[in-house]
Structure 1
Amino acid sequence: MRSHCSRRCRRESSSTASAIVIVAGIVAAFLWDAPGSLLVYTIALMLFAPVSDVWNLARQAVVAEVMPSAHLAKAMTALGGSMRVGNLVGPIIGAGLMLVFPIWSVFVFAGVAGLLAILVMALPIARIPDYGHSHPDAGATTGSKTASADAATAGTDSPAEPPRRARLDVRWNAVVLVGISIVTLTVARSAQPVVIQLWGVSIGLHESQISLLIAFGAGLELVFMFLGAYIKDHLGRVATLVACLTIFRAGFIAMVTMPNLVGMIVSVGIMAVGNGLGAGVNMTIGADLSPRIGRARFLGIWAIFNNGGKLAGPSVIALVIAIASLRFGVLFTGFVAIAGAVWVLVWARQIGLPGRR
């Protein structure tokens, strides 16, 4: 009963987050050419960050609850692939809109997409059935019922104590060690679209060409995410993370060595291969390390590493570009990625993630 309630709460939270997307998109569309448009755009971006977190945590927790451990990597990869479908369709539609309409049309499209998300969640098909797996709150629910029954039989002289939140049974040293590599992965992922746009503008590409390049990369990621699911299951999580970060680094280096359209296509393709292989690796590792009781609470803590990378990525890139140059900023992002790969390799034994099977 409690698991169904938690799923309903997650659906309501996702609907609220989608409503924020709608409001932010419409406001940005109406004020895109106003005197304070930069401030409005900044506020809209700040609103999109918690919206993304709510969506990611809600669906990750649901998948981790209902899927057996043998199929967890495949399920998380498919979940990561669903985001890549949006990354493919969104830029393609955005490129078409910008060829016909002003740029505000893209914000209107974002608002419409948020409205469609709310409608989809309201459909009966969006209700996830109970597959009979044990849920993270099952033990806590049983324990609370037993405590209530004992208190009832003991009489009024010994009132039942309020239920206490269970302590998370987590290997925190492993969480911190692998979390550092997750930060580097998120830095590379969050910097990727920023770098593509900045470098594309610097070599004279049109806005629609840059949007199509991003869509091309998202489409290629969808192809390689199936191979990534196989690697996660048969070679292990560490091997997947190392391959993702190493190939990512090669893409950033290729971008600065070939400053033209062909070089952009090659570098975006290389980064898409790396990112596709790592589709869902962050969510899979988080589910591997999460306890059975208090899983949703742990995943909220685990998201700190991902959010830290999202914040550090564009911020560090901007700082490096301001101090040195755009070229050095791109190379620095590649250095961060390879540092994360080396780090997780060094501490792989202490982390103890599922490996070859």
Structure 2
Amino acid sequence: MLKSIFWPVLAPAFLYACGTGALTPVIVLAALSLGAHQAVAGAIVTAAAVAAGVAAIPAGYVINSLGERRSMIGATAVAAALTAVSVFALVTHNGSSLPIFIVAVVLVGSIEVVWSLARQALIAETVERESMALAMTSLGGAARAGQLVGPLIGSVLLLKLPLYSVFIMHIFLALAATVLIAFGPADPPKRKPVGSGRANRKLQVRWSAVFLAGFAIMTLSMARQGKNVIIPLWGDHLHLTASSISLMVALGSAVELILIYPGGRLKDSLGRVSTFVACVTLLGIGFAILPIGGTIAFFIIGVAVASVGNGLGAGINMTFGADLSPSVGRAKFLGYWNALGQVGSLLGPGLISVLIAVASLPVAVLSLAAAPLVGGIWMAGFRHRIGLPGRRRVIIPAPDAVADESQSQ
């Protein structure tokens, strides 16, 4: 199964994620170099996330009209062009460079949604249900591997080259991904849609199940995005150096990568809900350990526990989307589903900022720990109404049946 999607999906996803992973740490630094205030530089990342959320639903309609492969080619080409505009702004460095840079970066965030949804839709259309979780988890793993490798390459470039060299690296990797999609092996054959005709022109979706599952996914998105904020802040709270905090983040990412394949198997064998509950429970416990322990040792343990949970749940958002999606109009539906996840991604860092301002960092961390735990309880309580694939049952034939079959041969 993984062989059929490696070249059309996983390899381009890795290349593109290398570029975006390298770009993420330097966007704020590039904005500061153009004269942006710290608040403005930080707001650029938030604005890009908002643009991605707004673009999710229109992106689904674009993919549904153009098809997955053409949408992926177009998205990577446009993203490369917009990144080139960012390079132009950084090189010219005049009075209009900062607004040009901001617009280009925000638009790249919205364009990347097309790329992301097209990959999910292609897997959902081609992979059999019994292997869906492993395929989606592998997609998430390819992206995470790229996000780990990309910054390492970018850090090497920045030892000798200016900031815009990382943006140029992103352009080349985006174009390489485009070439691989356009001229690589053909997409695997799609499964035949269930039903046809006029009735299927509208999305045939169990919306009650979508909203119930969507709330749980929002809590997971809150925890995941909040994790990226909590770990640096708590490390600074413990007076750790930036290098030590970066090492903790890297080690956590390594743990997540190791658990991606086992996590995919668990989703297919034990069921979606059981894996989701394990994921969010470990995330919540990992966050809670930080303020309860309050030492460097507990910081390491907390990050490790949260990383185990996050690794086991890699790709679970995309898997839920594929499970709940209709056989006709799948890309449209995934646009709506992605928008739900984006809401959670914005709420996590926002909740942390508000609670730090009105209370304290420990209160913010404990509140963030509660969010995934609530999501796990919610999902477990509504599992039958949501109706996601459960534990895979293995049917063992009775001894008499085996004997009869052997005699007949």
Asked if TM exceeds 0.5, the reply is yes
* Amino acid aligned to 1:63: I
Question: Which residue of structure 2 lines up, in the alignment, with residue 196 of structure 1?
Answer: 231
Q: CA deviation at 1:38?
A: 9.8
- Is the counterpart of residue 205 in structure 1 residue 251 in structure 2? no
Q: Is the partner of 1:131 in helix, strand or coil?
A: coil
Question: Which residue of structure 2 lines up, in the alignment, with residue 242 of structure 1?
Answer: 277
Q: CA deviation at 1:167?
A: 0.8
Q: Distance in 1 between matches of 2:345 and 2:337?
A: 14
**C-alpha distance after superposition, 1:60-85 (max 9, x if no partner):** 11111121222211110100111210
- Is the counterpart of residue 16 in structure 1 residue 72 in structure 2? no
Q: CA deviation at 1:202?
A: 2.6
Unaligned runs of 5+ residues in structure 2 are: 1-63, 393-409
Identity %: 40
Question: Which residue of structure 2 lines up, in the alignment, with residue 83 of structure 1?
Answer: 143
Q: Distance in 2 between matches of 1:269 and 1:139?
A: 46
Q: Indicate conservation of the 8 Å contact 1:26/1:111, yes or no.
A: no
Question: Which residue of structure 2 lines up, in the alignment, with residue 109 of structure 1?
Answer: 166
User: Is the alpha carbon distance of 1:93 and 1:325 closer, same or farther for their aligned partners in structure 2, counting shifts above 3 Å?
Assistant: farther
Q: What are the residue-to-residue correspondences of 1:280-299 with 2, within 5 Å? A: 280-299=315-334
Deviates more, 1:245-254 or 1:174-183: 245-254
Pairing partner for 1:314 from 349, 354, 371: 349
Q: CA deviation at 1:330?
A: 1.1
Q: Distance in 1 between matches of 2:118 and 2:237?
A: 39
- Is the counterpart of residue 348 in structure 1 residue 348 in structure 2? no
* Amino acid aligned to 2:166: F
Question: Which residue of structure 1 lines up, in the alignment, with residue 177 of structure 2?
Answer: 120
Question: Which residue of structure 2 lines up, in the alignment, with residue 65 of structure 1?
Answer: 125
Question: Which residue of structure 2 lines up, in the alignment, with residue 158 of structure 1?
Answer: none
Q: Distance in 2 between matches of 1:342 and 1:111?
A: 45
Q: Distance in 1 between matches of 2:365 and 2:91?
A: 31
Question: Which residue of structure 2 lines up, in the alignment, with residue 154 of structure 1?
Answer: none
Q: Indicate conservation of the 8 Å contact 1:68/1:133, yes or no.
A: no
**C-alpha distance after superposition, 1:217-252 (max 9, x if no partner):** 111101111221121111110011111100001111
Q: Indicate conservation of the 8 Å contact 2:68/2:122, yes or no.
A: no
Pairing partner for 2:304 from 266, 269, 278: 269
Q: Distance in 2 between matches of 1:254 and 1:182?
A: 22
Q: CA deviation at 1:300?
A: 0.5
* Amino acid aligned to 1:129: A
Moved over 6 A (4+): 28-31, 34-45
User: Is the alpha carbon distance of 1:248 and 1:128 closer, same or farther for their aligned partners in structure 2, counting shifts above 3 Å?
Assistant: farther
* Amino acid aligned to 1:13: A
**C-alpha distance after superposition, 1:241-274 (max 9, x if no partner):** 1111000011111222344544333222211100
Question: Which residue of structure 1 lines up, in the alignment, with residue 189 of structure 2?
Answer: 132
User: Is the alpha carbon distance of 1:44 and 1:101 closer, same or farther for their aligned partners in structure 2, counting shifts above 3 Å?
Assistant: farther
Q: Distance in 1 between matches of 2:381 and 2:155?
A: 43
Q: Indicate conservation of the 8 Å contact 1:22/1:115, yes or no.
A: no
Pairing partner for 2:364 from 329, 341, 346: 329
Question: Which residue of structure 2 lines up, in the alignment, with residue 155 of structure 1?
Answer: none
What is the number of residues matched between the two proteins? 329
Q: Is the partner of 2:201 in helix, strand or coil?
A: coil
Q: Distance in 1 between matches of 2:65 and 2:129?
A: 18
Q: Distance in 2 between matches of 1:25 and 1:271?
A: 37
Q: CA deviation at 1:337?
A: 1.0
Q: Indicate conservation of the 8 Å contact 2:259/2:311, yes or no.
A: yes
* Amino acid aligned to 1:12: G
User: Is the alpha carbon distance of 1:294 and 1:275 closer, same or farther for their aligned partners in structure 2, counting shifts above 3 Å?
Assistant: same
* Amino acid aligned to 1:199: W
* Amino acid aligned to 2:379: V
Unaligned runs of 5+ residues in structure 1 are: 144-162
* Amino acid aligned to 1:7: R
Deviates more, 1:243-252 or 1:194-203: 194-203
Q: Indicate conservation of the 8 Å contact 2:217/2:341, yes or no.
A: yes
Q: CA deviation at 1:132?
A: 3.0
* Amino acid aligned to 1:351: I
Q: Given the two structures, how large is their TM-score scaled by the length of structure 1?
A: 0.80
Q: CA deviation at 1:318?
A: 0.8
* Amino acid aligned to 2:301: V
User: Is the alpha carbon distance of 1:5 and 1:96 closer, same or farther for their aligned partners in structure 2, counting shifts above 3 Å?
Assistant: closer
* Amino acid aligned to 1:67: V
Q: CA deviation at 1:212?
A: 2.6
Q: Distance in 2 between matches of 1:27 and 1:202?
A: 36
Q: CA deviation at 1:28?
A: 6.6
Q: CA deviation at 1:92?
A: 3.9
